[in-house]
C-alpha cells in the first residue's frame, strides 16, 4: 500500500478512449491497495492550439492573459478524467492548481512553485477519493491570487512537486515512450531502454531527455529524493527509474529552487598539463588520452578549444601527485602525435602548472537561464581573479584559476549565489531514498556511460585574441545574457598569444543556431571596446556528449570516446568536460556517425527493438 502520484501527458489523455484507458489504470492502482493522486496535461495538442489562437490576435500577448488562456487546457482534462473515474465506480474529484493551493511566484508563463498546501488533498484522499489535479498551473502568492503557469512541459514539475509535498512513495510519469533510452532511436536504431538513471545523469542529458521529462521535475526529484519512474501509458512495462541519493533534509518552503546555483565546488588537488600546437587531425586526442589511461592516470577536466591554423592546444588536469607521470607521458608522445610532420614553426610543446585550483558552480536552475556563467565570471573578475580555463556542461561551469586565488573565489561565489560550499568532488551515488524494497536500488558500480546525446542545433562562435585579463569573459557573457541569449558550451583555451604587447586568448562558445547572428552582431558592436580582433561563426557543427556517473575517477573513458571517433576518421574540433560528462564538437556532417560509433563503443547498443512514436 503506497501513496503514488501518477502523471499522464497530453497524448495519454488525447481522446475520450484514452481518458477511459487512463481511468482504468488509475482504478487498477487503487484496487491494488494504493492511494492515488493523478496529474494530467491538456488533451493532445490543446496547448499548442491555444497559443496559436493567441498569436492570431496579438504578436505579443500579455503574459498574464496567456496564463489565463493556457491554464484552461488542463481544466478540461481533469474534469473529463474525473468523470471517467466516477463512471467506472471510482470516487474522484478534480481540482485546479489554485484549488489545491499550488502556490507559485507571480512570474507569469514561467512561475516556479513555492509551496503546496496539502490539507484539502489529504481530506479527499482520506475519503477514498482519487484526486485529479491540473498540471502546469498554480496560483500566485500575491493578494490578487493570479493564475500562473510553470512554463511549457510543466506538468511533470507539478507531479513531482505534489509527490514531494505529499511525501508520496514515488511518482510515475506516463507518456507515449516506454522510458528513457540510451540515445535517440531515430538516429541510432539499436538504442536501448535504460532500466534506471540517476537524477544527476538525467540533468546532464537534458538535451536528450527533456522531451520525456522536464528538467525542473528532475531537479525537484533530486533535491528531495523522490523516486521517479517514466513509463508507457500503453503497456505494463516497468519503464525507467530516475533515482537520487538520499538528500539532506530540506524545507518544503521555496520548494522549487528559485536560484540558479545550488552548490559551489572546488578542488585544489589539481595540476594542469597543456599540449600546445599539436596537429589538428583525427586520432590525436585518442592517442594522447589512450596513453594516459594505459598509465592508469585519472584525468579530470579536458579542454580543447578551436584550432588555429593546422594545430590545436589540448589541456587537461590530473591530481597533483600524478602530474610528473602525466607530464612524462605527454612529452614522450609528442613526436608520435606530430608524426614527424612540422606542425608549426615553433613546434609542439608541453607545459605544466602545479599551482592551480578548480572552482565550479553547479545547479539545474542554470538550464535555460542566460547569465549564470557570466555572473560567475564577473564575480571572479571583481575579486581580481584571472580565469585560466573554462569548461561548461548543462548544469555546471568549471574554471581553472591560480591556487592562491581559490579561497577568495569560493568566498565570493558563495556570497553572490547565496549558497553554502558543497562537496569537493561529485559524490558517487549512494543508496536510494526509498524504503520500498520493490523499488530498484543503484547497482554498484554504475555504468561508465549511461547515455549519449547529439545536438545538431548549435552554432559555434569563437572570439579571437581577446586580452587575457580579469573581466573579459564576464563582459562577453553578460552582454549575451542581456540580449537573452543562452550559451551552452563555453571553452576558454590554454593558448596565449602576444599581439602588440598584449597577451591574448581565444574564447569559444556555442549558442542555439537561431541566436548565432544576434550573438555575432552584439559582440561585433563591442569588439573595439573589448579589444579583440575577430569573431568566427560556424553553424555546421554537432555536439556529441557522453554522460555517466561511473566515469568519475575511472581512467580511460575519455580515451575510449576519442578512439571511437578516431576509428571513424572524425576530427574533434573542441572538447569540454565536467565530472560526469564529456562533450566533443565535430563537423555537422559527422554528427550522426559520431553518435552511432560512440554508442556502440560503450556497449550501449542492443537487439531489443524499442518502439517510439514518430
Using the rule CB under 5 A, is 153 a contact of Mg ion?
yes
Interface segment toward Mg ion; rule CB under 5 A; list 145-153, 338-346, 548-556, 577-585: 145-153
Show the beta-strand stretches assigned E in 363-438. Answer: 389-393, 396-402
CB crowding 422-454: b at 16 or more within 10 Å, else e: beeebebbeebbbeeeebeebeeebbbbbbbbb
Least distance CB 135 / ligand ASP (angstroms): 6
Cα of first residue to Cα of last residue in the chain, in angstroms, is 37
C-alpha cell at 301: 577536466
Segment 3-32, which members bind Mg ion (CB under 5 A)? 9
Angle, to 10 degrees, between the axis of helix 63-87 and the axis of helix 16-31?
Answer: 60
316 contact choice in Mg ion, ligand ASP, none (CB below 5 to 8 Å, kind-dependent): none
**Chosen from Mg ion, ligand ASP, none, partner binding at 283 (C-beta under 5 to 8 Å by type):** none
Contacts of 295 (CB under 8 A, 6+ apart): 325, 326, 329
Total number of residues shown for the chain: 614
Q: What is the DSSP letter of 176?
A: S
Residue keyed to cell 540515445: 183
Site for Mg ion in 460-489 (CB under 5 A): none
Name which of ligand ASP, Mg ion, none residue 545 binds, using a CB cut-off of 5 to 8 Å depending on partner kind: none
Least Å distance, CB 111 to ligand ASP, is 13
Segment interacting with Mg ion, rule: CB under 5 A, options 31-39, 150-158, 424-432, 499-507? 150-158
From the list Mg ion, ligand ASP, none, which binds 136 (C-beta under 5 to 8 Å, kind-based)?
A: ligand ASP
Other C-beta atoms lying within 10 Å of the C-beta of residue 186: 10
- Residue 447 binding target from Mg ion, ligand ASP, none, CB below 5 to 8 Å by type: none
Angle between helices 284-294 and 323-338 (to 10 degrees): 140
Q: Within 481-540, which residues bind ligand ASP (CB under 6 A)? A: none
Site string for ligand ASP, 146-185 (x = CB under 6 A): ------xxxx------------------------------
The Cα 578–Cα 222 span in angstroms is 19
CB of 19 to Mg ion, least distance (A): 17
Nearer to Mg ion, 9 or 44 (CB): 9
Instruction: Please state whether beta strands 497-499 and 113-116 pair in parallel, antiparallel, or not at all (unpaired).
Output: unpaired
Residue 149 or residue 198: which is nearer to ligand ASP going by CB? Answer: 149
What element of type H or E holds 159? helix 155-165
Whose cell is 586580452? That residue is: 467
CB 387 within 8 A of CB 380: yes
Determine if 209 is a binding residue for ligand ASP (CB under 6 A): no
d(CA 125, CA 358): 50
Given candidates 42, 80, 348, 580, which one binds ligand ASP under the rule CB under 6 A?
A: 42
Beta bridge partners of 357: 401
Rg (CA), the chain: 25
Choose among Mg ion, ligand ASP, none what residue 370 binds, the Cβ cut-off being 5 to 8 Å by kind: none
Binding status of residue 209 toward Mg ion by CB under 5 A = no
β-pair partners for 139: 103, 147
DSSP collapsed to 3 states, 337-382: HHCCCCCCCCCCEEEEEEEEEEEEEECHHHCCCCCHHHHHHHHHHH
H-helix or E-strand spanning residue 7: strand 3-8
Phi then psi for residue 449, to 5 deg, are: -130, 125
CB under 6 A: which stretch of 40-48, 169-177, 188-196, 512-520 binds ligand ASP?
A: 40-48
26 versus 173: smaller Cβ distance to Mg ion = 173
Nearest approach, Cβ of residue 43 and ligand ASP (Å): 9
Cβ proximity to ligand ASP: between 153 and 370 the closer is 153
Task: Give the nearest distance from C-beta 6 to Mg ion in angstroms.
Answer: 14
Dihedrals phi, psi of 184, to nearest 5 degrees: -75, 115
| Choices 14-22, 41-49, 515-523, 556-564 (CB under 6 A): range interacting with ligand ASP | 41-49
CB of 265 to ligand ASP, least distance (A): 32
- Closest contact distance (angstroms) between CB of 158 and Mg ion is 11
Residue 8 CB, shortest distance to ligand ASP, in Å, is 10
Q: Select from Mg ion, ligand ASP, none the partner in contact with residue 388, using the beta carbon and a kind-dependent cut-off of 5 to 8 Å.
A: none
CA separation for the pair 46, 33 (Å, rounded): 33
Residue 136 in contact with ligand ASP, rule: CB under 6 A = yes
Residue number, 47 or 82, with CB nearest to ligand ASP? 47
**Residue placing its CB nearer to Mg ion in the complex, 242 or 381:** 242
Written as one string, the DSSP assignment of 301-320 is EEEE---BTTEEEEEEEE-G
Q: Does 221 bind ligand ASP (CB under 6 A)?
A: no
Binding track, positions 63-82, relative to ligand ASP; x by CB under 6 A: ----------x---------
Rounded Cα distance between 554 and 550, Å, is: 7
**Could you say which of 47, 82, 244, 549 contacts ligand ASP (CB under 6 A)?**
47
Task: Kindly state the DSSP code that residue 495 receives in the 8-state scheme.
Answer: -
To the nearest whole angstrom, how small is the minimum distance from the Cβ of residue 153 to Mg ion? 4
The only residue of 4, 6, 10, 562 in contact with ligand ASP, by rule CB under 6 A: 10
Is the Cβ of residue 108 or residue 214 nearer to Mg ion in the bound state?
A: 214
Whether residue 421 contacts residue 265, with contact meaning beta carbons closer than 8 Å, is answered with yes
Residue 135 touches ligand ASP, criterion: CB under 6 A: yes
Q: Cell 614527424 sits at which residue? A: 340
Q: How far apart are CA 76 and CA 490, in angstroms?
A: 44
Q: What's the rounded Cα separation, in Å, for the pair 45 and 152? A: 12
Q: What are phi and psi of 426, to 5 degrees?
A: -60, 130
Pick 286 or 364: Cβ nearer ligand ASP? 364
Q: Binders of ligand ASP: how many residues, by CB under 6 A?
A: 11
Our CB check for ligand ASP shows the closer of 180 and 419 to be 180
Q: Shortest approach of ligand ASP to residue 327 CB, angstroms?
A: 52
Give least dist CB 214 to Mg ion, A. Answer: 6
Sheet holding 170-175, edge to edge: 92-95, 130-134, 35-40, 3-8, 170-175, 228-232, 240-243, 196-198
Instruction: Write the binding mask 450 to 489 for ligand ASP: x where contact by CB under 6 A, - elsewhere.
Output: ----------------------------------------
Query: Which of residues 211 and 553 has its CB atom nearest to Mg ion in the complex?
Result: 211
Site of interaction with Mg ion (CB under 5 A): 9, 153
Site of interaction with ligand ASP (CB under 6 A): 10, 41-42, 47, 73, 135-136, 152-155
Amino acid at each position: 500500500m503506497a501513496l503514488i502520484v501518477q502523471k499522464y501527458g497530453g497524448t495519454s489523455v488525447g481522446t475520450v478512449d484514452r481518458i477511459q484507458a487512463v481511468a482504468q489504470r488509475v482504478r487498477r492502482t487503487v484496487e491494488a491497495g494504493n492511494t492515488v493522486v493523478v496529474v494530467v496535461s491538456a488533451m493532445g495538442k490543446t496547448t499548442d492550439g491555444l497559443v496559436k489562437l493567441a498569436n492570431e490576435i496579438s504578436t505579443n500577448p500579455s503574459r498574464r492573459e496567456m496564463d489565463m488562456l493556457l491554464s484552461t487546457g488542463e481544466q478540461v482534462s481533469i474534469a473529463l478524467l474525473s468523470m471517467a473515474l466516477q463512471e467506472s465506480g471510482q470516487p474522484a474529484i478534480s481540482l485546479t492548481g489554485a484549488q489545491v493551493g499550488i502556490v507559485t511566484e507571480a512570474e507569469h508563463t514561467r512561475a516556479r512553485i513555492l509551496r503546496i498546501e496539502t490539507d484539502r488533498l489529504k481530506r479527499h484522499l482520506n475519503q477514498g477519493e482519487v484526486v485529479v489535479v491540473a498540471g502546469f498551473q498554480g496560483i500566485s502568492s500575491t493578494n490578487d491570487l493570479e493564475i500562473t503557469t510553470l512554463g511549457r512541459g510543466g506538468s511533470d514539475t507539478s507531479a513531482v512537486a505534489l509527490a514531494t509535498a505529499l511525501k508520496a512513495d514515488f511518482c510515475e510519469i506516463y507518456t507515449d515512450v516506454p522510458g528513457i533510452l540510451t540515445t535517440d532511436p531515430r538516429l541510432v536504431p539499436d538504442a536501448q531502454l535504460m532500466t534506471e538513471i540517476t537524477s544527476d545523469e538525467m540533468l546532464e542529458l537534458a538535451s536528450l531527455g527533456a522531451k520525456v521529462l522536464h528538467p525542473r521535475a528532475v531537479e525537484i526529484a533530486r533535491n528531495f529524493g523522490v523516486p521517479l519512474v517514466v513509463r508507457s501509458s500503453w503497456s505494463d512495462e516497468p519503464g525507467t527509474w530516475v533515482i537520487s541519493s538520499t538528500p539532506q533534509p530540506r524545507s518544503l518552503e521555496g520548494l522549487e529552487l528559485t536560484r540558479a546555483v545550488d552548490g559551489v565546488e572546488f578542488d585544489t588537488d589539481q595540476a594542469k598539463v597543456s599540449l600546445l600546437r599539436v596537429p589538428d587531425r583525427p586520432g590525436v586526442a585518442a592517442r594522447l588520452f589512450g596513453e594516459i589511461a594505459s598509465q592508469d592516470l585519472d584525468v579530470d577536466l579536458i579542454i580543447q578549444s578551436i584550432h588555429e591554423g593546422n594545430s590545436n592546444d589540448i589541456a587537461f588536469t590530473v591530481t597533483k601527485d600524478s602530474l610528473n607521470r602525466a607530464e612524462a607521458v605527454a612529452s614522450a608522445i609528442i613526436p608520435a602525435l606530430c608524426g614527424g610532420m612540422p606542425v608549426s614553426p615553433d613546434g609542439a610543446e608541453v607545459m605544466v602548472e602545479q599551482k592551480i585550483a578548480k572552482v565550479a558552480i553547479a545547479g539545474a536552475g542554470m538550464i535555460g537561464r542566460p547569465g549564470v556563467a557570466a555572473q560567475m565570471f564577473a564575480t571572479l573578475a571583481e575579486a581580481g581573479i584571472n580565469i585560466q580555463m573554462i569548461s561548461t556542461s548543462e548544469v555546471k561551469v568549471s574554471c581553472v584559476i591560480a591556487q592562491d586565488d581559490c579561497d577568495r573565489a569560493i568566498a565570493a561565489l558563495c556570497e553572490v549565489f547565496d549558497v553554502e560550499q558543497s562537496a569537493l568532488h561529485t559524490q558517487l551515488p549512494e543508496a536510494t531514498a526509498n524504503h520500498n524494497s520493490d523499488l530498484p536500488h543503484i547497482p554498484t558500480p554504475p555504468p561508465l556511460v549511461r547515455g549519449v546525446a547529439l545536438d545538431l542545433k548549435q552554432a559555434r562562435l569563437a572570439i579571437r585574441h581577446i586580452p587575457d585579463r580579469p573581466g573579459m569573459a564576464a563582459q562577453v557573457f553578460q552582454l549575451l545574457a542581456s540580449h537573452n541569449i543562452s550559451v551552452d558550451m563555453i571553452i576558454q583555451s590554454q593558448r596565449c598569444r602576444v599581439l602588440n604587447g598584449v597577451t591574448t586568448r581565444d574564447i569559444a562558445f556555442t549558442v542555439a543556431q537561431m541566436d548565432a547572428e544576434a550573438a555575432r552582431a552584439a559582440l561585433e558592436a563591442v569588439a573595439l571596446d573589448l579589444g579583440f580582433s575577430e569573431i568566427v561563426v560556424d553553424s555546421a557543427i554537432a555536439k556529441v556528449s557522453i554522460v555517466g556517473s561511473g566515469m568519475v575517477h575511472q581512467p580511460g573513458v575519455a580515451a575510449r570516446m576519442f578512439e571511437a571517433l578516431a576509428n571513424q576518421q572524425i576530427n574533434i574540433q573542441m572538447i569540454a568536460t565536467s565530472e560526469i560528462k564529456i562533450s566533443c564538437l565535430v563537423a555537422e556532417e559527422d554528427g550522426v556517425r559520431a553518435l552511432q560509433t560512440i554508442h556502440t563503443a560503450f556497449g550501449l547498443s542492443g537487439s531489443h527493438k524499442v518502439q517510439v512514436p514518430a
